[in-house]
Structure 1
Amino acid sequence: MPAPAALALAAALLLAAASICAEAVWLDMPQTGTKCVSEEIQANVVVLADYALMYESHPSSHPTLAVKVTSPYGYTLHENGNVTVGQFAFTTSEAGNFLACFWIDSAEKGSGVSVNLDWKTGIATKDWDAIAKKEKIEGVELELRKLEVAVQSIHQNMVYLKAREAEMREVSEKTNGRVAWFSIMSLGVCVVVSVLQLWHLQGYFRKKKLI
């Protein structure tokens, strides 16, 4: 494959992978209450996020932020308070929804307060400049290395999605089976009750000599 074509393919795959693995959001913070962001991430994935508090400048208003990041099983991965900027990083040990919650923890609530969250996972967390210097690679070789990592990332995502699809299909099949058995049992109960009612009515009419 010619070098320009290889570079174009690498750029396309890196863009596709980065669009999945990187997310920057703005959260408008209420004066009371909590704002949370969650993302479903598979196991053994590096997560890196930077957050910063933004607010309308006022001489007597200097709000601060508290943040807590938890795993799908409720374990605290990062917790900080009384800050305006911060960062958290971890490697996931299980798959599921990872939750980051923010709230204003200072007495001065301010106005127009928002949080900028730059959330990166997987390939988006790599420092390619540092990797290039460490491994002494550049140019086409570096782009091919990026291409290799991008392909691996996309393949891992596809495998994860396929596994989740299989799990959901299994749950759906089990649920459908239980609903079918419940329907059969309900129909059986209705038939039994109808037979008992008919038997009771026949006995009642015989006692009254109506039949």
Structure 2
Amino acid sequence: MIEVVAGKKECFFEDLHVNDKMTVTYQVGGGGHLDIDFWLADPDNKALAKQIKQSTGTASVTAEMDGRHEYCFSNMMSAISDKIISFNVHGVIYVGEDADVVAPVEREIRSLANGLTAVKDEQEYIVVREKIHRNTAESTNTRVKWWSILQAGVLFAVVGWQVMYLKSFFEVKRVI
């Protein structure tokens, strides 16, 4: 998890070789409208993925050249609110699938490792979503509480005014 300050961007790098695979998944956990700009670029600064004002996203890339690949989270569009981002980077180093080199057991282990990674990502996504929903529920609860207090205050004021007004009808007025 990182915090991206309003009006700033945070960039990270991964060194990849040809045919290496990398996947970046992210989700905005707090701040503003829960949106962020994201992009992924190759060593020549050519955009491989770009997502504007998204609350969650995934970008996968297979490296076409050796070098440092950059991915950034930008909060430049916000002048006030900082954003909290939860993200995961998964890299798969390319290994040929030659029948002589990779045993069936090794292939199965790789498959299980990929499945385990997917389950871990899903759990982290659920944790962030639960946090967002809990914050929304607490905010709604606070608003309902203050609205109820305001209604009770208005009710007592109206009742007090009605009692005073009706009391004036029953006062005896003497003329001398």
Q: Which residue of 2 aligns with 1:62?
A: 33
| Aligned-partner Cα distance in 2 for 1:146–1:40 | 27
* 62 and 147 in structure 1: CA distance in 2 versus 1, 3 angstrom threshold: closer
Pair 1:28-2:3 in alignment: yes
The number of equivalent residue pairs is 103
* 27 and 148 in structure 1: CA distance in 2 versus 1, 3 angstrom threshold: closer
Q: Which amino acid aligns with 1:53?
A: V
* 44 and 89 in structure 1: CA distance in 2 versus 1, 3 angstrom threshold: same
Within the candidate set 92, 96, 107, 1:122 is matched to 92
| Aligned-partner Cα distance in 1 for 2:104–2:4 | 41
The alpha-carbon deviation at position 108 of structure 1 amounts to: 6.7
| Aligned-partner Cα distance in 1 for 2:78–2:85 | 17
Q: Which residue of 1 aligns with 2:134?
A: none
Query: Which blocks of at least 5 consecutive residues in structure 2 are unaligned?
Result: 95-102, 112-176
Q: Contact 2:11–2:70 at 8 Å: present in 1 too?
A: yes
| 1:106-155 superposed Cα distances (whole Å, 9 cap, x missing partner) | 447434x221121111169xxxxxxxxxxxxxxxx864424589xxxxxx
Q: Percent identity?
A: 14
Task: Please give the root-mean-square deviation of Cα atoms over the aligned residues, in Å.
Answer: 2.7
| 1:18-66 superposed Cα distances (whole Å, 9 cap, x missing partner) | xxxxxxxx2221111110010111111121121111115xxxx424200
1:157-196 aligned at under 5 Å gives the runs none
1:132-147 aligned at under 5 Å gives the runs 143-146=105-108
The alpha-carbon deviation at position 82 of structure 1 amounts to: 1.0
Q: Contact 2:8–2:76 at 8 Å: present in 1 too?
A: no
Q: Contact 1:45–1:121 at 8 Å: present in 2 too?
A: yes
| Aligned-partner Cα distance in 2 for 1:42–1:143 | 25
Pair 1:91-2:62 in alignment: yes
Q: Secondary structure at the match of 1:62?
A: coil
Pair 1:50-2:50 in alignment: no
| Aligned-partner Cα distance in 1 for 2:61–2:50 | 12
Structure 1 length normalisation: TM-score? 0.43
Structure 2 length normalisation: TM-score? 0.51
| 1:169-191 superposed Cα distances (whole Å, 9 cap, x missing partner) | xxxxxxxxxxxxxxxxxxxxxxx
Q: Which amino acid aligns with 1:114?
A: I
Q: Which amino acid aligns with 1:50?
A: T
More helix, by proportion: 1
Q: Secondary structure at the match of 1:118?
A: strand
Pair 1:73-2:48 in alignment: no
Pair 1:110-2:72 in alignment: no
Q: Secondary structure at the match of 1:99?
A: strand
